[in-house]
Amino acid sequence: MSALVYLIGKNVQLSRCTGQLLHVFLHAPHTDSQIDHCKSSEVILQTCCVISRISIALLMYFRVCAVYNMKRIVILFFGIIWLGVVASAATTFAGVEGTYLGPTKYCTTTIKQDYIIYFSVIALVNDTSIFLAIMYKLGMADIRRSPTLHISDPWKSTGRLQSFTKVFLQDSQIYYS
């Protein structure tokens, strides 16, 4: 399941980036350029952005649930935050619009509502809380392995910090492969 979500997220993200690059390089050297279907192109770009962001948040949700061995409180807490990311993604469609500049065929993105910032803020809260939860869990596992350490000791020694970072990165790679 996580591999499918990963593929969808990365492919949509690649599509969005490719679409933006083609839009900029084929039409004009500026981000504002002449196109025939301004609103529909903006909807397509925003859809790719939303799908990409939601799928990445879902991958992180899977990860934190796996690290905490599917504990109910973790599933519930981070599931609610992930649903917040999904709900806030809807603000993108209501708050952003592709519009023409006057009577020309030049298209630009306009912000209709100020609340679209919530999509970024909730995504930031989601990512940060998951990162901190995973770091806490792995840090506690490292401390339990070595009973002579205190809670702050892994952060004082660069050797311990390097091994902790190595374990964290290797664990991340194994989970997504």
- Sheet of 33-34, strand order: 33-34, 106-111, 96-100
Could you state, in order of their start, the residue ranges of all structural domains in the chain? 2-176
Label residue 71 by pLDDT band (50, 70, 90): very high
- Of the given ranges (8-12, 46-50, 104-108, 129-133), which has the lowest mean pLDDT? 8-12
Q: Which residues does 35 contact at the CB level (< 8 Å), separation at least 6? A: 23, 27, 41, 105, 107
Tokens of 2: 């996580």
Least confident range of 11-20, 31-40, 67-76, 88-97: 11-20
23 or 164: which carries more pLDDT confidence? Answer: 164
pLDDT at 29: 40
Q: Is the pLDDT of residue 38 over 70?
A: yes
Please say whether the beta carbons of 96 and 112 come within 8 A.
yes
Q: Residues 41-68: pLDDT tens digits?
A: 788 778 878 888 888 888 889 889 988 9
Top pLDDT among 25 and 1 is at 1
pLDDT in tens, 73-112: 999 999 999 999 999 988 888 888 888 888 888 777 888 8
Is residue 134's pLDDT more than 60? yes
CA 50 from centre of chain? 9
The Cα 162–Cα 110 span in angstroms is 45
* Cα 137 to Cα 140: distance, rounded to the nearest angstrom: 5
